[in-house]
Structure 1
């Protein structure tokens, strides 16, 4: 591959301070510190299962709650993913992954289509995992899909442990994105009849 598919971005607001770098063609190396320990854990899983290299240093107003930090990590991660993809020539474009986590089964399907959309089907049995608000999973995924300009479908087919269900989502997200971003030597140009993505 001639060009490294990677990008970095620094975003500072009155609510958060985020420094993030992302390499698509990595080895699953993570150096992730956030002010939200549960998200740190989930992003570490995402990185490992996607074979990405990810550095995140995120601080935020978690004395209020975890919302701003979680949302803004999703925003910046989507932005660097989109930049790292470049012109998208040769990519598979679509990715699909099923991941079981004990009693839970999650499926994530992505299309790097330049048409942002999130569909999420998950019936979490609790509102919190530790101190983490479970509704923020949707917030993170929506901002990721919006900024990466991808079509993202997330389905938790079943499960009764909220931690396991969310963990399966993030592992499946990494694996689906790994598939979608993979260069396929059979693909000439971009995989679209429009001639662009």
Structure 2
């Protein structure tokens, strides 16, 4: 699915004049470095650009159209001359006091981007107003907030009741920093999966520090998820409310499904990524081998047997099921072999080996846009 940058105009692409109306050519002053770095984003990254702007009272006596369009068209032409084109220019003409759903942060003019054809979780709104951040939240996207007064920004955040801080991926007034963020931005996934049997929340950052905060209700399972985070270098948070009064199956299966989906989100289009990883890992009497390919195709090869029915509260038969469900939703090939005497060591070595294989596979060169496939698609 395509990804979109919804970009504000005034205060983001051009500097905003004191009267807040860019209604003459001599009032057009472009944001510093915007041509250089927005052109690089267009050339090097896979985003569609959409301009979204509120123009208070456009077409009324307070803002005649014949003063708006010459300046606006000159702005569009200047960007086009630098190789930057906008797929659409979405302009709302209403006044703030009218509270129309077409006006940012309303989404009434953007519903065609919310029909499932756009990868909104990996799309961004770029703007200088808190309404741009609110728009990102309403779209299900992230925000780049170009707020010029950090204290004002902090006050606006603290006074907003909708947890907007979680929406803001970057606060910056530097288009160079914004470009570098997109070029090498952290690869994240967030999944909240609710069924009649479980409520699973997973948050993943592939470019983390191996931090973890996992609570599934199953102590040994938490310990294994901790290993997955620590040895892959990813930050991982898993919270589960499951029907453990029945048994452990649904909690483990649904966690694997949500975790696989989070990985699928995080690896994205896989450009510049190694794709393949493998590890042979010893742990005392045990040896675990894991190999992974983020190929876009699910497959699991499994060679591990257990003599114990459970380790901790976790049935050993569910380890195969965990990795099968993970590979199915992460869309990866996974080959696992484990041998040894101590079942705890055998299982822990398996999770560590998979983690090390993942770490190798997701390694990337942020300066490369090469897809690791001769097919041209993964």
- Aligned residue-pair number: 196
Whether 1:88 aligns to 2:275 is no
Q: Deviations over 1:8-39 (max 9, x none)?
A: 11111110011110000010000111111111
TM-score by length of structure 1 reads: 0.96
Whether contact under 8 Å (1:125, 1:161) holds in the other structure is: no
Tell me what 2:330 maps to: 148
Tell me what 2:234 maps to: 52
Q: Distance in 2 between matches of 1:99 and 1:195?
A: 33
Whether 1:43 aligns to 2:228 is no
Whether contact under 8 Å (1:7, 1:81) holds in the other structure is: yes
Higher strand share: 1
Whether contact under 8 Å (2:219, 2:313) holds in the other structure is: no
Tell me what 1:10 maps to: 192
Q: Distance in 1 between matches of 2:194 and 2:329?
A: 17
Q: 1:173 aligns with which of 329, 354, 360?
A: 354
Whether contact under 8 Å (1:24, 1:84) holds in the other structure is: yes
Q: 2:345 aligns with which of 140, 150, 164?
A: 164
Q: Distance in 2 between matches of 1:29 and 1:136?
A: 25
Q: Distance in 2 between matches of 1:185 and 1:72?
A: 32
Check 1:141–1:124 CA distance in 2 against 1; reply closer, same or farther (3 A cut): same
Q: Provide the aligned C-alpha RMSD in A.
A: 1.3
Residue ranges of structure 1 left out of the alignment (5+ in a row): none
Larger radius of gyration: 2
Tell me what 1:29 maps to: 211
Residue ranges of structure 2 left out of the alignment (5+ in a row): 1-182
TM-score by length of structure 2 reads: 0.51
Whether 1:194 aligns to 2:194 is no
Q: Distance in 2 between matches of 1:69 and 1:9?
A: 15
Whether contact under 8 Å (2:184, 2:366) holds in the other structure is: no
